[in-house]
Amino acid sequence: MLHVDNLSHQILKQVSFSLACDQNLTLLGNNGSGKTTLAKAICNLIHTDNVNVEGKKVTHLTSRERARYLNFVPAKLSIYDEYLTVFDYLKLNVVKDTPSTHPDTVLELLEISHLKNKQCQKLSSGESGLLLIAGAMIHQALYTIFDEPTANLDQAKKIRVYDLLKNSSCFHNKIIITHDLNLAYKLGYPILFLQEGRVHYHGECETFFEPNHLQKYFGKSVKNIEGNFVVNYDESF
C-alpha cells in the first residue's frame, strides 16, 4: 500500500490518496499544478513525513528498500558521463538480476537492440525516452512513477510504450504523469487531477472523461471526437 496523507509542500496543498498493491493511477493536471513535485515527494527526492509505503514512512526506508519499493522515471534523461553506453546505463538499473530483466532482453522487447553500444549522450530525445522505459523495466520497483513516458516518441513507439504500460507483467504498480488525454483515457486507470496543488478529482477514468468534467477542468479547450481528445482550436483567439 502506498499512502499519501495530507501532504503540503511548495505548491501542494493537503494532498491525500492511497494506492493498493494491485492498483495503478494516472496523474493529470495543467502545467505547474504540482504533478512532478508530488512524484518526487513520494520517492523521497523531496523530504516529507507524509508518505508511507508498505507501512513505513518513506523517510525511514533504507536506500535498498527505497530502490525496491519506488522508482521515479523522469521526463528527460540526464547523463553526465560522455562515455556511458546504453548497455552500461541499463546495468546500473539492475536491482534483482533475472532473465526477464536482463538488459539484452529488455532492449529486444523495446526493439532498440541496435542502440546497445551507443553512448547515452548521443541518443535522440525519443531514444532517450525509450531508454528510460527500459531502465524502469529492469529496475522492477513495486511502484514506478513515469513522468510523461510518451513525450518525444513517434506514433509507433507511443503505441509500443502504451502496450508495455498496459502489460501487468512488465511493471508492478504504476503512476503515470501525462498531459496526453488520449493516453490517460485508453489506459483506463483511475484519475487523480491536480489543480493549483490541490486534488480536484480522484476517481474512475470513465467518469472523469464525461462531458461535464471535461468542461469543468478544461473549459472549451478540449473536444471529444469519437473517443479521441483533441485541442479545440476553434476556440482560440
Q: Which CATH number fits the domain that encloses residue 199?
A: 3.40.50.300
Residue at 231 is within a domain? no
For residue 151, the enclosing domain spans 2-206
Residue at 212 is within a domain? no
How many separate domains does the chain show?
1
Residue at 154 is within a domain? yes
CA 228 to centroid of chain Cα atoms: 21
Residue at 146 is within a domain? yes
Q: What is the pTM of this model?
A: 0.91
Residue at 147 is within a domain? yes
Residue at 237 is within a domain? no
Question: CB within 8 A of 95, min separation 6: which ones?
Answer: 67, 68, 138, 139, 140, 141
Residue at 219 is within a domain? no
pLDDT tens-place string over residues 190-209: 999 999 999 999 999 999 99
Q: How confident is the model at residue 235 (pLDDT cuts 50, 70, 90)?
A: low
Provide the 3-class DSSP secondary structure of residue 224.
strand
pLDDT tens-place string over residues 86-112: 999 999 888 776 777 789 999 998 999
Q: Find the distance separating the first CA and the last CA of the chain, reported in whole Å.
A: 46
Residue at 111 is within a domain? yes
